[in-house]
Structure 1
Amino acid sequence: MSDALGYASPQHYPAVVTDRWGRVETTLVNDGTAFGMILRGNRFEGKSVDGLALVGPPVGSNPPTLCDGDLCSCTIEWRMPIEVSLDGAGPSRVSLSAHLVLGDPTPNRGIDSVGVTLTLHLPTGVVATTTPQELIENALLDLQRLLPDGTRLLACISCAFSDYSPAGTAFIGSMACFRDRKDAYRAVSGKRDMYDIWSAMSGVVQETYHCPDFARRRPGSGYRG
């Protein structure tokens, strides 16, 4: 991802992992397209936080629980910055905390559950979701509905020029940006239109990212509404 669509340098988020061996403080690194983390000397990397794959053989006496090579059977908590508008003012940077629960392995090489809840730390207090969601998209939409009047998320999830593929979406980071094809995207009204314009996207972005082209999304826009 170019600097114009992603972070100029990797972001480092304070994180905590809790598993069968206990609680470990670490750092979740996000370069805009992938995540990385070290847990008890074991390095994990992946395009999404729910799909962090072990790099190399496990080390140490307390090995992580894996499902098809990915970290599972744990909770991952991290805190990241996000842009908001308070009372209609310009962008303000606040903190967003995420609590992700990764379930246990199942016989079909999946895990039995994935659930994330979010807490937004505003100058006036905190706003928190309570229903675990399988996708960061739905957790952010839950959060938006709970925000005080006049407060809005200024992020790709709420941008007028972002959308998802009708084929499906990942936990985080599979959102298409159409900021270079604004007029063409405004004409999208369903699945077929979305497929027709898909190859013209400016790039893929994470839901919590913000760029100068941000514009408030109107309900019912594009494919995702």
Structure 2
Amino acid sequence: MENSTPDLTWLIEHILPKGELLIVQSPSCVGRSLLLLDWAFCHATGKPWFGHHVGSGSVAYCSSEKLQGLGGRARAWYTTYESEIDLPVSQTPISFYELGTLSDDNYFIATEQLTEEIAALPETPSLIVLDVLTTDERKARVLAYRLWQQFGTTVLLTSTSGTYDNIVQLIPLEQSSEQRFLLRLPSKYSAPPLQLRLQSVSPSDKDFPLADATSYIIECEGQQSA
């Protein structure tokens, strides 16, 4: 694939640029968190993302969801891809933070605490994910902007609505036996939309405790080569 955006350098080639603040927008419950985890684990391990080269680095993954709720998804990912990566789970450079729901009552404290914890990491993460629930998206954007300004790294923030310049959209497709959605990237990337789907993964007996009997990973239909 030709680089039609020579001014950009890539965290995930032709998908996520380095040092950008991006909004990942979709309705709830369409696989957005799975996609963010997929990108985070690929970056932490250096595993290519469906043919797109991925630069490896450390990740700070900040979620409003309870951390044990992420265990099944993380386990499903490693169960599927453990033969393709060199790092054992215990050495993967990804740090998880539990934010809770951002509100007027906890916003300032949560922002200060998160900023201090990320600053205290042995190395500045090259990817920060804010997978948050909030009653005020403006506050979440301010938090994302502060982290982006302070650490100069790629920051991904979830959103359900609004119009932004740097926006990645996850659009549900028609209902079927499998959940499918379209990944639409910012126009300046000159990249065509990708069709993604959820693939169920049977549990195994190692790595992470499962919250559910079955979890899911992201698959790409008609994947492209970088």
Tell me the TM-score range normalised by the shorter chain. under 0.3
User: Where is the helix percentage greater, Structure 1 or Structure 2?
Assistant: 2
Q: State the TM-score, normalizing by the size of structure 1.
A: 0.24
